[in-house]
């Protein structure tokens, strides 16, 4: 089982969308049983909450059902997950402050946009204070970067391909 965790600040916008999108791609490739996929936030702002309605609507538009409940990253996550993908540079710095994070190498805990070929920024922009268009933009970035992520993981773990 390959365990993948997506992390943003609130765990109600970017990371639940990344989780749902990656889950869909894994299912489409017939790899569902080989992956455990989750998301979490560096903050405790939205623990137990459903994702933002704009996240849910964006997912629906692309055939992705998102029913995650917000949770905060814990020290156990660094032991439990093989790959941890941060949405932006603040998320990654905050992850590195959590005890246990030192167990993860730079290849295992990284910015998701660092996997894109020519990203215009290394951060997935935080869409929380913007409009619907921000979520569309986030979807496009995550659509490309989760493709790259799946390629990376399958290249590193060929027995799962
Ligand atoms: P996310 O977006 O990190 O992509 O889930 C945010 C959600 C909530 C807040 C900030 C960003 N907030 O400040 O409550």
**Shortest-distance Cα residue to atom 10 of ligand 1:** 10
C-alpha–C-alpha distance, residues 56 and 91, integer Å = 22
DSSP assignment letter at 157? -
Residues with CB under 6 A from ligand 1: 8-14, 45, 126, 128
Q: Which of 108, 35, 44, 45 is nearest to 73 (CA)?
A: 44
> What tens digit of pLDDT does each residue of 71-120 get?
999 999 999 999 999 999 999 999 999 999 999 999 999 999 999 999 99
The yes-or-no verdict on residue 160 having pLDDT over 90 is: no
Give catalytic residue positions. 8, 14, 126
> What tens digit of pLDDT does each residue of 42-77 get?
999 999 999 999 999 999 999 999 999 999 999 999
**Shortest-distance Cα residue to atom 6 of ligand 1:** 10
DSSP assignment letter at 48? T
* Structural domains in the chain plus CATH codes: 2-160 (3.40.50.2300)
Q: 132 falls in which pLDDT band (50, 70, 90)?
A: confident
Half-sphere exposure of 125 (CA within 13 A, CB side): 17
Q: 131 falls in which pLDDT band (50, 70, 90)?
A: confident
What pLDDT, on the 0 to 100 scale, is given for residue 98? 98
* Candidate from 128, 129, 131, 139 with most ligand 1 atoms within 8 A of CB, to mutate: 128
């Amino acid at each position: 089982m390959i365990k993948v965790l997506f992390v943003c600040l609130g765990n109600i916008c970017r990371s639940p969308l990344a989780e749902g999108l990656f889950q869909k791609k894994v299912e489409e490739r017939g790899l569902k049983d080989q992956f455990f996929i989750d998301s979490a936030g560096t903050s405790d702002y939205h623990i137990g909450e459903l994702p933002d309605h704009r996240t849910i609507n964006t997912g629906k538009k692309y055939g992705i059902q998102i029913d995650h409940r917000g949770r905060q990253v814990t020290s156990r996550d660094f032991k439990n997950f093989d790959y941890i993908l941060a949405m932006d540079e603040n998320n990654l710095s905050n992850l590195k402050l959590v005890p246990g994070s030192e167990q993860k190498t730079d290849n295992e805990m990284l910015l998701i946009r660092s996997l894109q070929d020519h990203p215009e920024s290394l951060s997935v922009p935080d869409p929380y204070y913007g409009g619907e268009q921000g979520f569309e933009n986030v979807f496009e970035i995550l659509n490309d970067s989760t493709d790259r992520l799946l390629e990376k993981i399958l290249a590193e773990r060929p027995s799962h391909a």
